[in-house]
Structures are given as structure tokens and as C-alpha cells.
């Protein structure tokens, strides 16, 4: 079972671990507590948490995906998902894709995002990826600086089509 | 078995179908015949086609991935890969991710890329995706126009880290 201690620059020690079904409401709250996510996420719709729990079961059943949370004194304070994609390009390289990175308001500015990204970089390497990739909304200018500071190249445009 | 006729604006009729292992050399040639891919791909390395065939087997075994080729008179002239990613964000939406889109030089400017993307949009919808996404190198300015012309929003920056 994946579980690891993240030590922050201020000495704080948090636990990064694989998400469980009972973490889903807290993860959804993190997704919704965001300028862009507020309109898109929340468990107050007519279907409640149902669609989220179905999606969780699918993620959890497939070893290609790792949905993790960070816990502080029993509370979920951050989350991200890593997915491993096989492909032919770059001599058959596996690529890791990071989605849904969120750090709760109470825990920002403490280097937690950096610690999480360092973990996901190491985890993608352990899983044999030659490349790690993610996209970030162009309006998130802080995120841009954050990812390039970690060594990512902002080399691509990310295109999205709502179906 | 996935197989479909693509009709081009000039009346040309090509076959889009699921890739087979014996298509791998032709797909790699398409990946390598490209300003950015030339340094990254080819079967002339010490390992030859081995890494590509291993990656093909992995893609082919997992229904989350569809690697397709377009055939004209028995020759492979284009390729793309669609991967389906589960996630919690956007109310547990599945997202389709398109990678490794290539159209051979002999078949450019005939609307084949548009026909392939229309197919992949429809396929992602059939597979229950709420969102289709891809990234394109910022140096590919024609690709930018191409994807926005198909309705994609260039809303994100795409970050890559070589591991």
C-alpha cells in the first residue's frame, strides 16, 4: 500500500497515500474550492456523490492510475492523480500524466505542492516513464512559474474540446 | 474490429482501422518523418523495432487505448492514438486524450487530418468521454490553427519533463 511521509521546509510532516473511497467527498471539496472548479464540481447536484464514486472505483481498479491524497492530522489537504500511458513515440516510451493537482487553501505557501510534484516525478520514474506531462489553464500564471521551477518545459499548447 | 471508411473532400476514400503489430514499422516511419520526431524515433537504433513492438503489445492489450492507422491502397499513411482516462474532476468525467497524430507527407493538404480528428471526436463520445484533450508543440503553428478550427480551445499550457 502506497504511503509516504512528505517533510515540508517548515518541518511539517504530512502523509501522502493512496486515496480510499471514503476520501472522495474531501477530494471533491478540493476540486470545487477553486476559481475554475467551482462551477464544475461539487456533491450538491441531483446525483450527489454517485458519479464521483463510480469514477473512483474505475481509477482504483486499474493499476495504470494512482490517485493519491495528502493527510494532515487525519484531514485530506491535497490530492493529485498520476496516469501511465503507453505509446509508440520516443522509442516506445511510457509517459506519466498528472491531472487534478489541488492543495487546500489552509496548506498553500508551505512547499506542499513542490513536495507532491517531487514525489510524482520519482513515482513516474519508478514506473518506467521517460516523460512526465501535465497541462495547466493559461489563467493560472502562478502554476506556470511553479512547474517551470520544477524543471518542466512549457513547450506545448494544451487544447481541450468539451464533448 | 474497428474499421471505417474516411471520405476526403477530393473524393478519396481511405480506411481507418485498428493498428496491427505488422503496422509498427510504418507507424514508426511516420513518427520519425517529422522535424521534431526525427531525432527521437526510428528503428535503426541498437534495439531496432523491439521497444516499439513491446509498447505496441501493451497498447493493444488494454481497451483504454486505441491505436489506429489510415490505409490507402494497402499503405499506412497516417496514425493517431486515443487513450481514455478516468478521473474525479468535472463530476467524474472520463477524458479522451489524443497522442501521436501524424499524416504522411504524401497525404497532407487533403483534409485527412480533419477527417481523422472528426473520427476521434466521435469515438471519444461513443466511449463516454465528456472532454477530449491533446497537446501540440508550440512550434507547430499550423497545428494550432488546425485544432482551434475543429472547435478545440487553446486554453492550457502543456508542460513536459524528460525523466
ipTM of the complex: 0.93
pLDDT classification of B49: cutoffs 50, 70, 90: confident
Which residues of chain B neighbour A88 with C-beta distances below 8 Å?
A: 24, 27-28, 31, 52, 55-56, 59, 67, 81, 100
CB contacts < 8 A, A to B, total 213
Q: What is the mean pLDDT of chain A?
A: 93
Distance CA(A4)–CA(A119), nearest Å, equals 9
Nearest Cβ partner for B153 among A41, A86, A160? A160
Alpha helices in chain A (DSSP H): 24-32, 50-61, 89-92, 112-126, 141-149
DSSP label at residue A121: H
CA B79 to chain A, closest CA, distance in angstroms equals 11
Residues in chain B: 163
CA A56 to chain B, closest CA, distance in angstroms equals 7
Contact B154 A155 (CB under 8 A): no
Report pLDDT for A47: 74
pLDDT classification of B37: cutoffs 50, 70, 90: low
Report pLDDT for A1: 64
Distance CA(A150)–CA(A136), nearest Å, equals 14
Q: Is the pLDDT of residue A39 over 80?
A: no
Query: How would DSSP label each residue in B63-125?
Result: TTEEEEEEEETTEEEEEEEEEEE--SHHHH-EEEEEEEEEE-GGGTTSSHHHHHHHHHHHHHH
Distance CA(A100)–CA(A59), nearest Å, equals 13
Q: Is the pLDDT of residue B33 over 90?
A: no
Nearest Cβ partner for A31 among B89, B147, B157? B89
B73 sits in the region (left: phi over 0; alpha: psi -120 to 50; else beta) called left
Which residues of chain B neighbour A156 with C-beta distances below 8 Å?
A: 135-138, 157-160
Q: Is the pLDDT of residue A33 over 90?
A: no
CA B57 to chain A, closest CA, distance in angstroms equals 10
CA B31 to chain A, closest CA, distance in angstroms equals 7
* Distances from the Cα of B23 to the Cα of A37, A120, B49, B53, B69, angstroms: 42, 34, 11, 10, 8
Report pLDDT for B1: 65
B16 sits in the region (left: phi over 0; alpha: psi -120 to 50; else beta) called beta
How many Å separate Cα B30 from the centre of its chain?
A: 11
Contact B155 A147 (CB under 8 A): no
Q: Is the pLDDT of residue B138 over 80?
A: yes
Contact B154 A151 (CB under 8 A): no
Q: Minimum mean pLDDT among A74-83, A104-113, B31-40: which range?
A: B31-40
Q: Is B55 exposed, middle or buried (0-12, 13-18, 19+ CB in 10 A)?
A: buried
Report pLDDT for A159: 97
Distance CA(A115)–CA(A5), nearest Å, equals 10
Residue of B nearest to A53 (CA): B92
How many Å separate Cα B75 from the centre of its chain?
A: 17
Mean pLDDT of B108-137: 97
A3 sits in the region (left: phi over 0; alpha: psi -120 to 50; else beta) called beta
Q: pLDDT, tens digit, for every residue of A96-153? A: 999 999 999 999 999 999 999 999 999 999 999 999 999 999 998 888 999 999 999 9
- Which triple of cell numbers denotes residue A10? 517548515
Amino acid at each position: 500500500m502506497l504511503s509516504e511521509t512528505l517533510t515540508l521546509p517548515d518541518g511539517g510532516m504530512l502523509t501522502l497515500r493512496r486515496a480510499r473511497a471514503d476520501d472522495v467527498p474531501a477530494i471533491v471539496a478540493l476540486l470545487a474550492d477553486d476559481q475554475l472548479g467551482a462551477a464544475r464540481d461539487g456533491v450538491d447536484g441531483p446525483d450527489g456523490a454517485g458519479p464521483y464514486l463510480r469514477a473512483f472505483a474505475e481509477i482504483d481498479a486499474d493499476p495504470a492510475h494512482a490517485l493519491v491524497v495528502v493527510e494532515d492530522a487525519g484531514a485530506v489537504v491535497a490530492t493529485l492523480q498520476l496516469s501511465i500511458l503507453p505509446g509508440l513515440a520516443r522509442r516506445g516510451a511510457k509517459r506519466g500524466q498528472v491531472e487534478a493537482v489541488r492543495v487546500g487553501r489552509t496548506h498553500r505557501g508551505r512547499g506542499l505542492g513542490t513536495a507532491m510534484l517531487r514525489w510524482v516525478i520519482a513515482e513516474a520514474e519508478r514506473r518506467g516513464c521517460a516523460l512526465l506531462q501535465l497541462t495547466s489553464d493559461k489563467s493560472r500564471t502562478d502554476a506556470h512559474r511553479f512547474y517551470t521551477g520544477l524543471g518542466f518545459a512549457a513547450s506545448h499548447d494544451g487544447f481541450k474540446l468539451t464533448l
